[in-house]
Amino acid sequence: MDFIKIENLAKQYRKNILFAAYSAGAKSAHIGGALSIVEIVACLYGEVMNLDPKNPLNSNRDRLILSKGHACLALYSALAEKGYFEREELKNFEKSGSFLLGHPVMNKQKGIEFSTGSLGMGLSLGIGVAHAAKIKNVNYSTFVIMGDGECNEGSVWEAALLGPHLNLQNLRVIVDKNNLQQTGKNQDILNLGNLENKWKSFGWNTHEVDGHNIKDLIKVLSCKSDNQKPTAIIANTIKGKGFSFSENNNDWHHNVLTKKNYELALEELS
């Protein structure tokens, strides 16, 4: 396994996120939550998922549902590097007429599987997609990336009950646990306690992992269920990961990337 390759891919994703956000000009972008999932997405698109951008509608392709759709810059960065479109297209982020909107809008030819952004809905989509694979006897895996703040939504726990009931061993959920949401700290807004224990109590196989550790992420993301139950991965992350001005700074949940910060971030990356 070439872990250095994935680390370099994650670094390129961060460059792409900066490029897209800065290109948006005076429009603000959801930078913090995109940066926290970079390593997760790099492992999925760089190693774990079965995808072919030359055949984007292949029925056997793995599916990724970005339930926390506001983190779309991480997804768009991955799709550009995978070859679904040219990297230069990122400069059109949030521009009129672009397919790279502030939340994902389904465009399967470009690798965007679902329209997302209404928080709490992605897991239900994932349940349906994974269940469809079993009914049709098609061999693909479904991955859902959610936010920890998103787990405030009651619909998440309705879907969490259904996954094990349907024996969806082909479903893997990754919870981006960066401990912050738009308006503050999760523990102050709605303390979810031990998330791994919660998912386990709903009948899921569970893992807790450093969400920025490539080796550990690939291990758990590649792990196949041996008991017919779906898997929940609690990924401990840092919001705004990668840059001194944005790490654990909730001002960067949604903000305008100035020239000063853009240049500082590029310097820190190099």
Report the SS3 class of residue 29. strand
d(CA 30, CA 14): 13
Spell out the residues 6+ positions from residue 135 whose beta carbon is closer than 8 angstroms to its own: none
DSSP 186: H
> Would the pLDDT of 26 be above 90?
no
pTM for this structure?
0.97
Handedness of CA 141, 233, 52, 127 (dihedral sign): positive
Rg of the Cα trace of the chain? 17
- For the chain, the structural domain boundaries read 3-269
DSSP 84: S
Q: What is the pLDDT of residues 145-197, one digit of tens each?
A: 999 999 999 999 999 999 999 999 999 999 999 999 999 999 999 999 999 99
Specify the pLDDT at position 226.
84
| Helix (H), strand (E) at residue 206 | strand 205-210
Of 3.40.50.150, 3.40.50.700, 3.30.420.60, 3.40.50.970, the CATH number of 3-269 is: 3.40.50.970
pLDDT band at 229 (very low <50, low <70, confident <90, very high): very high
d(CA 142, CA 138): 12
